[in-house]
Amino acid sequence: MSANTWEAAELRSLAKELVARHPVDGDPLAFLRARFDAGLAWVHFPVGLGGLGAPRALQSAVDEELAAAGAPDNDPGRIGIGLGMAAPTILRHGTPAQQRRFLRPLWTGQEVWCQLFSEPGAGSDLAAVGTRAVRDGDAWVVSGQKVWTSLAHKARWAILLARTDPDAPKHQGMTYFVCDMTAPGVEVRPLRQITGEAEFNEVFLTDVRLPDDLRLGAPGEGWAVARTTLMNERVAIGGTPVPREGGPIEPLVRAWREWPEVRTAGLHDELMRLWVRAEAARLTGARLRQQLAAGEPGPEGSAVKLTHAMLTQRITGLELEVLGEAGLRHDDWTLRRPERTDVLDRAATHRYLRAKGNSIEGGTSEVLRGIIAERVLGLPAEPRTDTTVAWKDLPR
């Protein structure tokens, strides 16, 4: 069956068959594996890799059907980096063996992934990474320090960007790896954040040996591979379908409806402005997903991520003002190691603070605006002097 002949109804009936064969109240992992094997994990992926080569937009038909049947989900709040970033990168740049090894346990949530990109000296300018990977027979020896690494303490695997040729200009001397987080020399230390908890980490890599079959893409081609990850990261953040009043605005509208005593005309005006923007963002997201169903994510993903960060921050900020006295009270500052990154069950103050990360993680809003200006609007790039010089000669 060719990709574009799939119909939503067919996928719905496949989902029904799956539920008939594998009761939803059995072992969740067994169900998720069966779902993967039936091609209903991500329907746009190839047959054998969790998909059916169907249009991406039809995924929602499957998701709806399975949710209605009460099927277990793969807990995307816990495995977001694997789903959103590692998987599309492995699909595009991985060998068939790598795809078979990694995608299934990634999707079922059996193996958690993290992203070893940022370094103390390389954040927005990711192409400046200095973590070294040196070839040694059929392996690579990796040393360096990564930082702000979300969920590294839970991760079995990481996507890793490292420098393999310091003599080349910075974009050309990098190679992309899958890092085994259990390998000797990988040390994960909690890094506490604004919310008091430690969702992210510092990761120290000391002579970590990675066999060559953990390399993703050709040596020196790491930047091209990383760009796939980054484009998908922007789509993954804020790119999932939500119902009206779903997502960040949900607790705010709930508070407004439940507590008439918090209402004032001034706050109402702001609430409705944000409601309109949230609905505009929701429809834009739906439209973008329809576009995506036809092809690869483009720079439009940046718009989704940018809007999501701005809206979440403004909504959570307003929520504290609406709550008034309750907005002054926090739930918990103690150092914790969260399993997941969703925040709906936490205090409004926690949501407000966590939202501050939305415009930093996965590329800052300033950098994304630059990308929109240059790649979408075609405006001239900022003058640069750092792209032609050998990486090792760059000023630091």
The residues assigned a catalytic role are 233
Q: Is residue 124 involved in binding ligand FAD (CB under 6 A)?
A: yes
Cα–Cα distance, 232 to 281 (Å, whole number) = 18
Category of 94 on φ-ψ map: left (φ > 0), alpha (ψ -120 to 50) or beta = beta
φ and ψ of 141, to 5 deg: -110, 120
Member of 150, 164, 302, 313 binding ligand FAD (CB under 6 A): 150
Q: How far is CA 348 from the centre of its chain?
A: 23
Member of 196, 241, 298, 299 binding another protein (CB under 8 A): 196
State which residue, 212 or 321, has the beta carbon closest to another protein.
Answer: 321
φ and ψ of 175, to 5 deg: -135, 150
State which residue, 146 or 289, has the beta carbon closest to ligand FAD.
Answer: 146
The stretch among 24-32, 116-124, 213-221, 268-276 that binds ligand FAD (CB under 6 A) is 116-124
Q: Which two tokens stand for residue 210?
A: 């990675």
Q: Is residue 266 involved in binding another protein (CB under 8 A)?
A: yes
Tokens 């997903």 sit on residue: 289
Q: Which residues are 204's β-sheet partners?
A: 145, 187
State which residue, 46 or 190, has the beta carbon closest to another protein.
Answer: 190
The interface with another protein within residues 331-350 (CB under 8 A) comprises 331-334, 349
Member of 11, 32, 40, 147 binding another protein (CB under 8 A): 147
Identify the CA nearest to 125 among candidates 133, 117, 137: 117
Q: Is residue 123 involved in binding ligand FAD (CB under 6 A)?
A: yes
Q: CB of 317 within 8 A of CB of 210?
A: no
Cα–Cα distance, 362 to 234 (Å, whole number) = 7
Q: CB of 322 within 8 A of CB of 256?
A: yes
Q: Is residue 169 involved in binding another protein (CB under 8 A)?
A: no
**What one-character-per-residue DSSP string does 268-305 give?**
HHHHHHHHHHHHHHHHHHHHHHHHHHHS---THHHHHH
Q: CB of 61 within 8 A of CB of 14?
A: no
Q: Is residue 128 involved in binding another protein (CB under 8 A)?
A: yes
Residue 115 binds which entry of ligand FAD, another protein, none, with Cβ cut-offs from 5 to 8 Å by kind? ligand FAD
The interface with ligand FAD within residues 333-392 (CB under 6 A) comprises 357, 360-364, 366-367, 370
The stretch among 24-32, 90-98, 206-214, 352-360 that binds another protein (CB under 8 A) is 352-360
State which residue, 295 or 383, has the beta carbon closest to another protein.
Answer: 383
Residue 311: its H or E element: helix 300-323
Q: In the complex, what is the shortest distance from the CB of residue 189 to another protein, in angstroms, rounded to a whole number?
A: 12
Q: Which amino acid is at 389?
A: V
Q: Is residue 382 involved in binding another protein (CB under 8 A)?
A: yes
The interface with ligand FAD within residues 184-213 (CB under 6 A) comprises 200
Number of residues interacting with ligand FAD: please give it, by CB under 6 A.
Answer: 19
Residue 352 binds which entry of another protein, ligand FAD, none, with Cβ cut-offs from 5 to 8 Å by kind? another protein
Q: Is residue 118 involved in binding ligand FAD (CB under 6 A)?
A: yes
Task: Give the footprint of ligand FAD on this chain (CB under 6 A).
Answer: 114-115, 117-118, 123-124, 148-150, 200, 357, 360-364, 366-367, 370
